Every structure is written in structure tokens, then in C-alpha cells.
A and B are shown apart, each in its own frame.
Chain A
């Protein structure tokens, strides 16, 4: 009973942060860009969804779509401002990372100036009903969050495996130079990747706003958690990110159950550091050899 409760909480946490982790992971491995601007993308997408809910309609799919679209736009902004000018310059990795941080600073200040520091909340997307499964109460938002993020992840994975663009992205992960020889444009692929990962962050934002609020700086914690999960799973690996998300979600749920909420980060970081000391490239960081030329 209790274990089931912990597990369900773990899965929900994993579902949301896993989305960001996979986004960070894909960006790093295909573009070589450590994107710390997802915090901004997160809030940006949240505000899009909020504006839609305020001015257009409160129809849930529309709000979710607005969030996803906003995230994609935010990702493309980062791509145009940071990735495209910098990708063939010296010290790209450091400068790219600092550039995304600068964007997150600028963006959150701009949001703060535009919308003020007060938090906004979205309407409930999944209604408010409950299902009892094996004696355990599952609320609608929990089910909705897990289903949506699983759907998104599934779509992304299938798209990456099956489509031509996905093949291009995967080819660029392995060997960017050979990719350009084959006819894959680094810049155009960069835009696809950033739009895709931004959309994932946007969806995570909409989902997380079911439990929290939308504020100019609300993207920070999800970003840090997502980055930690991506790190732990091994940058560049989707499966690794999913496994790590599950592990950290489990840690979080178990810690808040047995030790108390304020120890969550401590136990999580202990777990992350342990994993990284045992496997410096994360749980399944097999791909980074190709990136660390």
C-alpha cells in the first residue's frame, strides 16, 4: 500500500523531470550545447499557456498545445541567438553554456518586467476525478501527467527512430563532421532539435503547473533537477535519462516519506554523486566518446 503510493509519486516526479532531462540530453548530444536556458523556456511556455487560458479559451488541449508551442518557440530563440552564431567558434561549449545562462537571466528578467513577480496558475487540465486502483486513490492530474509525458516521450522516441529528421539528429549525435558530408545541415538540424526539446520543456511546464505555479523564476528547480537527471543517466542517452529519472523519483518519494521533505535534495545529490563516482559518464553514457573529440 505504502510502497505503491511511493511508487506512484516516484513515477509522477520522474515523468515531469524526465522530460526536461531527455531534452537536455538530446541537445547536448546532438548539438554539443549544454543548454541551461531551459529554465527560461519553462517559464516562457508557462506564460504562453497562461495567456491562452486567460484570453483565448480554457479548453485543456488548447492550453497544452499553447504551452508546447511556446516551449518550441523558446527553444528556437535560444538556437538562433546562441547556437547558430557560436557553433563553429572556438570554446563553443563554454561560451554556449554561458550564453544560454545569459539568455535565462535576460529572459526571466524580461518576464518579471512584463508580468510582475506574482505567480499565475493554470486551470485544471485533467478535471478532478479519482480512480481507485487496488485500493489506492489515483487523482486525475496524476494519471494525466504520467500519460501526457509518456505520450510525448513515446512520440519523440518513435520520431527519432523512424523519421528522416530523427535519423539526421541521431546521425549528428554520432559524428557531426560526417553528418555534414552526408548532406545534413548543422544549422537547420539545430533548429529542429531545439524546437523539439523546447516543446518537451513546454509540456513539462504545463504539467508541472498542475501542482505548482507559473512565475518568472519557476523554471529553475525543474532545470536543475532535469540537468542532474540527465547527468546521472549519461548525457546523450534517452534510456539512461529515463532510468535515472525513475531512480531519482524513487529517492525523492522515499525520502519525503521516511525522512521529510527538506532532505529530498540532499539524498538526491548523494545518489547522483554516488552514481557519478562509480560511472563518471552516467548510467549509460556510451555516446559521449563521439562528442568529446
Chain B
């Protein structure tokens, strides 16, 4: 069984700031991994480093055995689309959405591979089964949606392709606790099969006991492996 993600000695940062320090991480197929840490300890940067969006980075990142990390000190985001095409789905923090597109177009924009584009109808159905409230908003521009609905759209967009690894950044941030809870429920309801999910979250209570592993993140390093159920590796 190859690892979905194998990070070895990853360091990343922006200019003189080093946010991630020599980080090692392995994610196995079918695993849900929670990363817990306070603001400013590098959760988002870790996700951005995997996607190649940080100012500079070095270290090896293997996605399904394929090298996607590179030592680079410029061109943030220049290769992100290639990395994403290799099977990464990023559900970013906050409202990284296209305000003018309708919900339907928005979901379509997530289906960027040829196969995904071809059967986007069934995929959309699958997303709508998860996020029932979106069904009657399909023709509405995303700019008019509420915060929770936007988050659903942004997560649904990530689910439109067959990603190997889902990177979810702070799914409950800025949402009412009840909404955050339901978004998290939806994330947990997704059938992963042999892909994996990586959830960065500040609220430990939302993750505790419901994901396979919870790892703390502190000052750019991972702290401990509070393994709850799964003991692979």
C-alpha cells in the first residue's frame, strides 16, 4: 500500500519568515487526519506548501508516490494547477470563491479533468446528496449565498474530481457552531475509498474521536501522534 501523502523534511515560508520547520508526515489511504493548532502555527501554510503556494519551500512531498515538492524560492502558485491535477483537492479557508459564477458553474469549475468534466452531472448529484440545501440554489450567484452555503459550495467544488487527497482548511471557521458541526458531519460522511482527507481545524472538539488521527501543530512542527483508532504503520 503506497502512502497517499509522504512529506519528508518539508520547510516552507514567506521571504525571511520560516513557518514550517522540517516537517515529516505520512497519510495512508482511507485515512482521515486532523491537524489541530492555534492561529499562526502553520496549518494553512502546510496546506499551501503541499499545493506549492508558499513563497519558498524545500523538502520532498510525494503524492501517491509522485514527487510534487520542489526546492524553489519563487513562482508561488505557478505550478499549483499541475499539482492539483495530480489528485489534490483543496478546500481553502474563508471565501476563496468566484462571486459572479452560479453555484452550478462553481461546482463545474471543480471538475477540471477531462473525465470529471464528462460525467459532471452524476458528480454534481453526489455533491448535492451531501449538501441538500444547495439543490434549490443551483442558479444563484455564489456572491449572494450565506457563509455556510458558501462553505458548502467550496467543499462541494473540491469533491467534484477524484482527488487522492482532500485538503480541508478550517471548515468551521467563521460559521455558527451548529453550521460548523453540520459541515463537519458532511465531511465525515464522504466515502473516502482509497483517498485520504486532511482537515486542519482550531476546534479540537469537532475532531476528537471522529477522525482516525489527530496531530497537534505547534510553531511549524507536528506534535505527537494522538492515534485514536487506526494503527497503520
Contact = CB atoms under 8 A, between A and B. Distances in A.
Interface of A: 88, 164, 167-168, 170-171, 173-175, 177-188, 287, 290
B92 A178 contact: yes
Contacts of B75: 88
A187 B110 CA distance: 18
By secondary structure, the A interface counts as helix
Interface string B43-84: 000000001010000000000000000000001111011101
A185 B157 contact: no
Nearest to A161: B105
Contact of B98 (A164, A178, A180, A186): A178
Given A171-B109, A181-B92, A186 B77 contact: yes
Chain B interface category by residue count: 20 to 34
B55 to A, nearest CB: 11
Contacts of A188: 81
B31 interface: no
B135 interface: no
B177 interface: no
Nearest to B48: A181
Given A182-B84, A182-B157, A183-B112, A175 B99 contact: yes
17 contacts: A88-B76, A164-B112, A168-B109, A168-B112, A171-B98, A174-B98, A178-B97, A180-B53, A181-B80, A181-B84, A182-B110, A183-B80, A183-B112, A184-B81, A186-B77, A187-B78, A290-B100
Given A88-B78, A164-B112, A287-B100, 15 more contacts: A164-B117, A167-B105, A168-B112, A170-B98, A175-B99, A177-B96, A180-B53, A180-B80, A180-B81, A181-B90, A181-B96, A182-B84, A183-B80, A290-B99, A290-B100
Contact of B84 (A171, A177, A183): A183
B98 A175 contact: yes
